[in-house]
Amino acid sequence: MLQGWIQIAITITLFVAISPLFGGYMARVFQGQRTLLDPVLNPLEGVIFTLSGVRDRPEMNGWQYTRAVLYSNIAACILVGLILFNQALLPFNPTHLNSSAATWDTILHTLVSFVTNTDQQHYSGESTYTYFSQFAGLGLMFFISCATGIAVAIAFIRGLTGRPLGNFYVDLTQAITRILLPMSLVGGVVMLAAGMPETLAGPVVVPTLENPHISQAIALGPVAHFEIIKELGQNGGGFFGVNSAHPFENPNGFTNLLEIVSMVSISAGLIHTYGAMANNPKQAWYIFNMVLIIYIAFVVVAGINEYNGIPGINQLLGSSQPNLEGKEVRFGWAQSALFLTTTTGTMCGAANSAHDSVMPGSLFIALFNMFLQILWGGEGTGTAYLFAYVILAVFATGLMVGRTPEFLGRKIEQREVVLASLLLLLVHPIVILIPGAITLSFPEVAANVTVPGFYNGIFNPGFHGLSEVIYEYTSAAANNGSGLAGLGNSEPAPSALWWNLSCCVVLAIGRYVPIMALLLLADGMSRKQSVPMTSGTLRTDTKLFAGVAAGVILIVGALTFFPVLALGPVAEAFAVL
């Protein structure tokens, strides 16, 4: 037990130590300050900006920035869609997959899922998409979707601090060239050295150990470079169907450590980026520590649940055993619990164990992470969500104590509260609970099948079945992408059409409506006149305010989603006692 907790402590200490370095570097990049990579990247960016003419374009307001996000993402969908629909005609297809390996609705879901930085997969990578489709199509989406989130976060921070939002295309380019690409190149080489394959060769056919006369095909592919941007960009979509539980995607404890640190480093660093750009590192550290404390508490809850195991099995054995169902023994209960909490807290969605097999208390943590979306949060957007909660906390606290609701010297008024409420209290619950209610209320319509027990592809009845449905839509709405087994959401299940199309709607609304609200909120804040701090101003760079903000975050999240948590993992926890 002690060894597991030591592993967790080392991992958390590592990313806490490096996150200020990442944060400071990103602040210098987006403030146009000098960095060590300038001699290499300045010429590259010069060519890109000269050919595109982007740098000569003016600053954007909130609506213009939003339109630029949509235009670029739609263009990416069209380009990658052409690749996926015509993969049989393209090179690097050693397994001879044709264009019918995925149906039109699965391809549509894949495009929407990957462009929204969700990477929810209703397919198995090695048997559905070719090498070229994965590294040239989906790999391109990895960079664009992650860079979009970073650009939105930087625009949001600029707005909060009274600056113009900037130009989306410049921010997108620099997020790729200055942050994602260099880190991916270094990380990919490390992944390769640690045992991940990076090859265009086809599967290796070998005889099985049980019967030498029976052969087995072992899938390979260009995995190492795909894996690093999958984690670093919080994309989460696996090259293989079982994601980071696959020995080629996550061979050992070192790669598991690298994946966890990679998925949290940029999101955690962006809090420090805010501190540098707002010239208030003290406030950034208070907010960082607030999130860190909640994160550690959630890791402890998940770890205790997985270590204590399943009561019924422990009773039969006469001793307490960790819950190792659905887990890789090379990672065990500790690294599985840490990975689960981190991947659902960062909106990455990668998985080194079967989330469907975790204990109800751990499932509660996973769902609650995605309900909140701020426990490091999605790449870029999670930071913006966090400060939207801070704005609500400023407003609520100001009302309670009779002080002026101000943030960074700018008054919080009706428009900001409405946009923050739309972002945090309306859109997210609506796109989760309404599709979930429809799915559970009309299973025979949604499933398009009349086989008893197969309604809507929900194989697990009762409390866990409800959790599976809510988890699917929560994962889509939060741009997380992880999932529970037990749903017929992949071909050839007849219910796959329903899951593909309904999740497409949730994916798009859950990504782009909040981005629009964030940019409009930041645009409004950037136009406000700064007012001097007085004795009546509520200070936000104190331990007390950080505690109040944490309370607002947890209470709002708990009250909004308490009914589905009570009917899902909480009820299941009582059932397994």
Q: Per-residue pLDDT tens for 239-288?
A: 999 999 999 999 999 999 999 999 999 999 999 999 999 999 999 999 99
Q: What is the DSSP string of 129-198?
A: S-HHIIIIIIHHHHHHHHHHHHHHHHHHHHHHTTS----HHHHHHHIIIIIIHHHHHHHHHHHHHTT--B
pLDDT at residue 107, as a whole number: 95
Q: What's the burial of 537, exposed, middle or buried (CB within 10 Å: 0-12/13-18/19+)?
A: middle
Confidence class of residue 458 from pLDDT cuts 50, 70 and 90? confident
Indicate the SS3 state at residue 527: coil
Residue 429 covered by a domain: yes
Q: Is residue 186 part of a domain?
A: yes
Q: Which domain holds residue 479?
A: 2-203+217-576
Q: Does any domain span residue 211?
A: no
Residue 263: inside a domain? yes
Does the pLDDT of residue 380 top 80, yes or no? Answer: no
CA distance readout (Å), 422 to 425, 429, 514: 6, 10, 8
Which pair of structure tokens corresponds to residue 268? Answer: 């955690």
Residues whose CB falls within 8 Å of the CB of residue 574, separated by 6 or more in sequence, listed in order: none
Residue 80: inside a domain, yes or no? yes
What share of the chain has pLDDT > 90, as a percent? 60
* Higher-scoring residue by pLDDT: 13, 101: 13
- Position 79 in a domain: yes
Residue 208 included in any domain: no
Count of domains in the chain? 1
**How confident is the model over 148-175, as pLDDT tens digits?**
999 999 999 999 988 999 999 999 999 9
User: Mean per-residue pLDDT for 454-476?
Assistant: 82
d(CA 519, CA 497): 33
Look at residue 209 in the predicted model and tell me its pLDDT: 84
Mean pLDDT of 101-124: 94
209 domain residue, yes or no: no
Overall average pLDDT of the 62-74 stretch: 96
- Tell me: pLDDT of 450 over 80: no
> Can you tell me whether residue 510 is helix, strand or coil?
helix
Separation between Cα atoms, residue 547 and residue 549, nearest integer Å? 5
